[in-house]
Amino acid sequence: MNAVKTGTPTIKLLQKLGRINIIRALPPEELYNLKDYVNPVRFAKGETIIREGTEGDSLFFIDKGSIDVSRSGSGIITKLSSGDTIGESALLTGESRNATCTANTDVFGWMLKKGDFEKIVSNSAGLKYALEDLSQKRKQGIAPELPSSQAWTATVLRSIDARSRGLTSWQKLMGIGLIAWILLTVNQHRAFIPISTTSLLYAVIQLAAGLLALQGACEAFIQGVERMGARLKWDGFISGTVGSILSTLPEFVVIAFLVKVSPLAAIITSMVTIFNNGLAFSIYSFFLPKDKQGVYAMPRSMTLAGGELLIAGGAVTFIVGLIMVLMQGKGANLVLEKFDLIAIGIVLIIIYIYYVVSLVKFYGEGKDNPESVPPDPERLGHDTSWPGIILMLFLGVLGSYAGGDLIGGFADIALKELGLPTIPTAAALAFFAGISEYIIVIKSHKRGELGIALSNVFGGMTQVMFLLLPFAFIVIGVLGIAGGTGIYSMPINFATSMLTILLFPLFYALHQYMEQNKSLSNLGAVAMTCIYVLLLYFLFSVPS
């Protein structure tokens, strides 16, 4: 046998450990350091792995290869292969082995020694209790309720992140963005480097630094909410909902800065972000594991409350878009302004508030799969001190302001000095502004939180449609009432009418595919992707 101590923890290793029943029956948040005690082992063909009658002192998980299991007087009684486990009961009882296991091929796997497992248990009162309860159930022949391997792995990974201390990668990258923001701000006042002679380079630096600051702000808000949720004992749904809404705050700040530069660019950026996130939803659907029927069952909350939200979004955009088309026949220089924009914004926000209330009631009644929401944050080991919470929220606010200022500066140079067209520039801003959302989805997917990842990418559309876009409308309308110039309005022309009315097929198509069998298939993903690519193609080809 060849055994080598593992190095840094990997998601794949935790996913393998999550397939072991006895491990999965224990609180995952208490096993955050389990990977530090797991050794990779290799056995040559013909080598004896365990011998009948010897002390059970370790558990072995088969990663690759095949093993013959034999018993005295009976010969080979079964074969084990990839994914099977040897010696689960050894961690509980240490009883003698009741069979001999021999490598039928070269075998690679992972080993956890009973002594190391006992070290982990000795440091956790909760784990001790859970282990005693599990032992009693096994003696009584009661099968414990087990979370899915994905949910178990996701909780362990969240616990590892929660317990980590010191600077993380996102904080370092955010620091780079904030330092760049400070230097650029000083340069604007001191003019060490003339902006007029380096407009393009200056704009690119602003964009890059702004993205780093915004990504850091999103992470900081999520961390702050998780810590607060742990301190105030919020459940996973409440903390996840608050974190999801707060993580969009940087986008609100970006829109506020864009309104100062160009109200039309702010509106178009918000609208194009909806199309981009719709495309992200359809593409992500490809990566969801499908069952034997080739479908992935979506969270019930998404198909019910989310479906109703899509209907509302489609209806509002169709009504407003149709009115804009009809009004174009009345003459030129027509606009939506002041009370028009505020009224549309208020309607959208009211719909979203009722959507959130419906979700709270839905989860409170236990109607959805509990694995479609994050675990309760108080279980994970967060720093719950008020200074730590305040620091994270402060970083979120600072990163949002700095990122918004930088992105606004980029838009100012791009539109006014470089003369770039409004729609392509706004589309680029929409893509870059949505990167932080996509990163959150990718992280959730890697953890195995598929329902949460899907909900996040779905929320990327609905939150922009029912929070970000109405925020832009209301800000522009209020500035118009406050005596702003005519620029604080939304012109009614071919481009803006098309942007608005084409949101209807986006919501309609998604709703229809969600309603069909309450699931997603690769065929539906292909169709949605093609539809959304076609919509984006026509949006980009529209003259600004």
Confidence band (pLDDT; 50, 70, 90) for 125?
confident
Strand-pair category, 100-103 with 335-337: unpaired
Instruction: Read off the pLDDT of each residue in 200-205 and give the average, rounded to a whole number.
Output: 86
Going from the C-alpha of 107 to that of each of 102, 301, 454, the distances in angstroms are 10, 44, 37
* DSSP character string of 62-96: EEES-EEEEETTTEEEEEE-TT-EE-GGGGTT-PB
Confidence band (pLDDT; 50, 70, 90) for 246?
confident
- How many Cα atoms occupy the beta-carbon half-sphere of 477 within 13 Å? 17
Residue ranges with strand state E in 274-383: 295-297, 335-337
Arithmetic mean of pLDDT over the chain: 85
SS3 of the chain: helix, strand, coil, percent, to 5? 65, 10, 25
Handedness of CA 85, 89, 95, 99 (dihedral sign): negative
Among 83-97, 231-245, 529-543, the range of highest mean pLDDT:
231-245
The pLDDT tens digits of the residues spanning 79-95 come to 888 888 887 777 777 77
Instruction: Quote the tokens at residue 334.
Output: 């027509």
Main-chain dihedrals φ then ψ at residue 333, nearest 5 degrees? 60, 30
The pLDDT tens digits of the residues spanning 461-484 come to 899 999 999 999 999 999 989 876
Are 231 and 437 a contacting pair, CB within 8 Å?
no
Instruction: Quote the tokens at residue 439.
Output: 């990163």
Instruction: Quote the tokens at residue 178.
Output: 């904030």
- How many Cα atoms occupy the beta-carbon half-sphere of 115 within 13 Å? 2
Residue ranges with strand state E in 172-294: none
CB atoms within 10 A of CB 326: 11
pLDDT of residue 291 exceeding 60: yes
What CA dihedral angle connects 183, 184, 190 and 193, to 10 degrees?
Answer: 110
The pLDDT tens digits of the residues spanning 345-394 come to 999 999 999 998 888 887 776 666 777 778 889 989 899 999 999 999 99
pLDDT of residue 9 exceeding 70: no
Instruction: Read off the pLDDT of each residue in 23-49 and give the average, rounded to a whole number.
Output: 86
Instruction: Quote the tokens at residue 401.
Output: 């302001």
What pLDDT, on the 0 to 100 scale, is given for residue 531? 87
What pLDDT, on the 0 to 100 scale, is given for residue 3? 42
Distance, in Å, from the CA atom of 458 to the CA atom of 306, rounded to the nearest integer, reads 9
Confidence band (pLDDT; 50, 70, 90) for 1?
very low
Confidence band (pLDDT; 50, 70, 90) for 195?
low
Instruction: Quote the tokens at residue 246.
Output: 């707060």
Nearest to 214 by CA among 267, 257, 262: 257
What CA dihedral angle connects 88, 92, 97 and 102, to 10 degrees?
Answer: 30
Are 193 and 413 a contacting pair, CB within 8 Å?
no
Instruction: Quote the tokens at residue 143.
Output: 């099968």
What pLDDT, on the 0 to 100 scale, is given for residue 2? 42
The CA angle 61-66-70, to the nearest 5 degrees, is: 90
Helices (H), 413-521: 422-433, 435-447, 450-463, 469-481, 494-501, 503-515
Instruction: Quote the tokens at residue 63.
Output: 């990663």
Q: What is the DSSP letter of 55?
A: B
Please name the amino acid found at residue 537: Y
Are 513 and 522 a contacting pair, CB within 8 Å?
no
Distance, in Å, from the CA atom of 146 to the CA atom of 155, rounded to the nearest integer, reads 13
Instruction: Read off the pLDDT of each residue in 144-159 and give the average, rounded to a whole number.
Output: 85
What pLDDT, on the 0 to 100 scale, is given for residue 92? 73
Confidence band (pLDDT; 50, 70, 90) for 6?
very low
Instruction: Quote the tokens at residue 263.
Output: 């109200």
Distance, in Å, from the CA atom of 353 to the CA atom of 373, rounded to the nearest integer, reads 19
- Prediction pTM value: 0.84
Instruction: Quote the tokens at residue 90.
Output: 């050894």
Instruction: Quote the tokens at residue 329.
Output: 């026949």
Handedness of CA 375, 378, 383, 388 (dihedral sign): positive
Distance, in Å, from the CA atom of 485 to the CA atom of 256, rounded to the nearest integer, reads 17
- Distance from the first to the final alpha carbon of the chain: 69
Instruction: Quote the tokens at residue 13.
Output: 């290793």
pLDDT of residue 205 exceeding 70: yes
Q: What is the DSSP letter of 41?
A: E
